Structure 1
Amino acid sequence: MTLRHLLLSGIVGSTAYGLARAGSDVDRLGLFAAPTEELHGLHTPKESHVTTAPDRTLHEAAKWCRLALGGNPTAMELVWLPDELYEVRTPLGEELIGIRASFLSARRVRAAYLGYATQQFRRLEGRAEGPLAPEAGRRIAKHARHLKRLCHQGLELYTTGRLTIRVENPDEYHDFGERVAADPSVALPLLRFYENAFDERATVLSEHPDEAPAEAWLRRVRAHFYVPDAPVGPSAAVPGGQS
């Protein structure tokens, strides 16, 4: 994959959230377009490319759309980044940002964000009893920060239709992480609070996402990256076909 196929890419993760500390990794997320003609053969191109040096995940345009329509929190943040965090922002990427609200739906936002937060809590519950090694404590604190962030961002999307990537008070998240590392049960009241908040607060989102803008955008992407084959010569004519 060459750089010209990248449509949108930016810095995500703890740096984007404002939660990075000394030694934190810098994570990047982006989407690319496979050459259109490669989608029609027996073996279609890989839909995701993940590297660790640097830490970067790239999804093919169609896969990213499916993830976003499903409410995937990691995919969704790519189209809500602050301007300064984008490293690649093509016209087609700009169009995608422009239709970001159409990917949202009440049911899927709730299921995805609360679901991911619950997964983080299960990881906290699974910690071993007794003294923790420093690395284990840092890992638990990180899971706790993500639990709190996912709950907050999910409820914001659900009630306002907007997503703020950078958290308002990073120290609050780090303090929460340290308290949970010492006692994982501290996370349960927060999770229950947000479960109740989703039940009680009104949503501005429709029940289902609007797939039409994504479909139209993806077709524009396919047209843009379509390179017609060379004209078929006489020797390649189909037997019995019309001349």
Structure 2
Amino acid sequence: MISATDEALVRDHTVYACVMGSRAFGLATEDSDTDRRGVFLAPTPLFWRFEKPPTHVDGPAPEQFSWELERFCELALRANPNVLECLHSPLVESVDGTGRELLALRGAFLSRLAHGTFVR
């Protein structure tokens, strides 16, 4: 069960949201689910506490998962395949100015590490 605070983070502070997986790439069947991924930017005051904002939130919708922006970038720099797929999804559901900045940087995350990990 998602907390009201976490739901508000996703609802009110998402900078980028997309559909991933089979639906994004034209491979869906009748039984395919819709995988939604997003990035939220937690308000600065939430970092001024002992308990920091979550690095990710599962939900509130089924098959929805969102990362906090800093964690998302950490994973992208480590060539995390889910994060890289999210950055390159053709089905963008929402994007704001910060999300557009993130998308403009997506080529920077395709590093030698990503090449070494996925190209053989």
- Name the TM tier (shorter chain): 0.7 to 0.9
Which of residues 76, 95, 100 is equivalent to 1:94? 100
- Mapping for residues 12-51 of structure 1, pairs under 5 Å: 12-51=20-59
Determine the C-alpha separation between the residues in 1 that align with 2:46 and 2:78. 25
CA contact (8 A) 2:78 2:113 kept: no
Determine the C-alpha separation between the residues in 1 that align with 2:35 and 2:48. 32
Amino acid of the structure 2 residue aligned with 1:105: S
- Cα separation, partners in 2 of 1:38 and 1:11, compared to 1, 3 Å: same
Amino acid of the structure 2 residue aligned with 1:35: P
CA deviation digits over 1:18-71, x for unaligned, max 9? 211011100001000111111121110111111384211100000000010000
Determine the C-alpha separation between the residues in 1 that align with 2:96 and 2:19. 16
TM-score by length of 2: 0.85
**Which residue number corresponds to residue 219 of structure 1?**
none
**For 1:94, what is the secondary structure of its paired residue?**
helix
Determine the C-alpha separation between the residues in 2 that align with 1:69 and 1:89. 21
Determine the C-alpha separation between the residues in 2 that align with 1:15 and 1:53. 16
**What count of residue pairs does the alignment treat as equivalent?**
112
**For 2:30, what is the secondary structure of its paired residue?**
coil
Q: Does 1:106 align with 2:109?
A: no
Determine the C-alpha separation between the residues in 1 that align with 2:45 and 2:19. 30
Determine the C-alpha separation between the residues in 2 that align with 1:48 and 1:68. 14
Which of residues 70, 73, 81 is equivalent to 2:89? 81
**Which residue number corresponds to residue 75 of structure 2?**
67
**For 2:24, what is the secondary structure of its paired residue?**
helix
Superposition deviation, residue 14 in structure 1: 1.1
**For 1:17, what is the secondary structure of its paired residue?**
coil
Superposition deviation, residue 106 in structure 1: 1.4
Once the two structures are aligned, what percentage of the paired residues are identical? Answer: 33
Determine the C-alpha separation between the residues in 1 that align with 2:35 and 2:101. 23
**Structure showing greater relative contact order (alpha-carbon pairs closer than 8 Å, 6 or more residues apart):** 2
- Mapping for residues 164-183 of structure 1, pairs under 5 Å: none
TM-score by length of 1: 0.44
**For 1:95, what is the secondary structure of its paired residue?**
helix
Q: For the aligned residues, what is the CA RMSD?
A: 1.6
Structure with higher Rg: it is: 1
